[in-house]
């Protein structure tokens, strides 16, 4: 069994598309009909995120911790209890490719770190889009860690101790722990995920915060040159 864990905080607007994309990925021919379950962990939600996920057939878990590390860990525990051999993780503001799970398993590694793409830059503008294209490594061998595009076998996950209770960078901490216990980690651009560039991001120091910081630094550099 394969399990996909999706933490979510007030994601009623986007969770449906995410779950639907994961379910489509679970039907890839390469998986040979292996069962795929989707676990949505609704953390401190005041909207209908949990109801939407449940209506789509996902396993819903409700927690009130405001902590993505705990939310991912709770979802992973549920998946392991259900008998999952492979745990895949994405975010509720993301959409995965149809061969996403197959591409992870194709690496034949203990863990797979994938890249992310952005198709809607909102109000960031062309300068930010160009900067991202020039500086982001979207090729095999990259060293990015994204909770929106991460996979790990159950054995390695347990050996590494799972996700720590961090509000941000819990994904980086897990990968560091996997490397520390000798797990084989592959840095691949094959598993594809499109994620959000929204400014009202959830994790305080996550991907959205990084984009905002880069944009602010770029604007500062432009003002300095003009002066």
Give yes or no for residue 185 having a pLDDT over 80. yes
149 or 216, which is more confident: 149
88-113 pLDDT, tens digit per residue, is 999 999 999 999 999 999 999 999 99
- Band (227; pLDDT cuts 50, 70, 90): very low
125-179 pLDDT, tens digit per residue, is 788 888 888 999 999 999 999 999 999 999 999 999 999 999 999 999 999 999 9
pLDDT of residue 224: 37
Query: Is 193 in a helix, a strand, or coil?
Result: strand
pLDDT of residue 200: 67
CATH topology for the 2-226 domain: Spore Coat Polysaccharide Biosynthesis Protein SpsA; Chain A (3.90.550)
- Tell me the mean pLDDT in the region 35-40: 98
Pairing of strands 150-153, 86-89: antiparallel
Give yes or no for residue 4 having a pLDDT over 90. yes
193 contacts: CB under 8 Å, gap ≥ 6? 90, 94, 95, 96, 97, 100, 114, 115, 116, 117, 146, 148, 149
How many CA within 13 A on the CB side of residue 114?
29
């Amino acid at each position: 069994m394969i399990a996909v864990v999706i933490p979510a905080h007030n994601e009623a607007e986007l969770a449906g598309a995410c779950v639907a994309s994961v379910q489509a990925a679970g039907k890839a021919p390469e998986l040979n009909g292996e069962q795929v379950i989707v676990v949505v962990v609704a953390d401190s939600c005041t909207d209908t995120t949990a109801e939407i996920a449940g209506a789509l057939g996902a396993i819903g878990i409700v927690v009130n911790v405001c902590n993505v590390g705990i939310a991912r860990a709770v979802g992973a525990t549920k998946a392991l209890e259900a008998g999952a051999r492979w745990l895949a993780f994405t975010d509720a503001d993301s959409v995965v490719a149809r061969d996403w799970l197959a591409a992870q398993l194709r690496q034949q590694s203990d863990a797979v770190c994938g890249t992310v793409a952005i198709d809607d830059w909102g109000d960031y503008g062309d300068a930010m889009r160009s900067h991202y294209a020039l500086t982001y490594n979207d090729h095999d061998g990259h060293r990015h860690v994204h909770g929106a595009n991460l996979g790990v076998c159950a054995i390695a996950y347990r050996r590494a101790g799972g996700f720590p209770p961090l509000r941000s960078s819990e994904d980086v901490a897990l990968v560091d722990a996997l490397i520390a216990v000798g797990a084989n980690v592959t840095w691949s651009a094959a598993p594809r995920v499109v994620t959000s560039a929204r400014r009202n991001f959830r994790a305080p120091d996550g991907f959205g915060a990084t984009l905002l910081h880069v944009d602010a630094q770029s604007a500062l550099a432009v003002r300095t040159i003009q002066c």
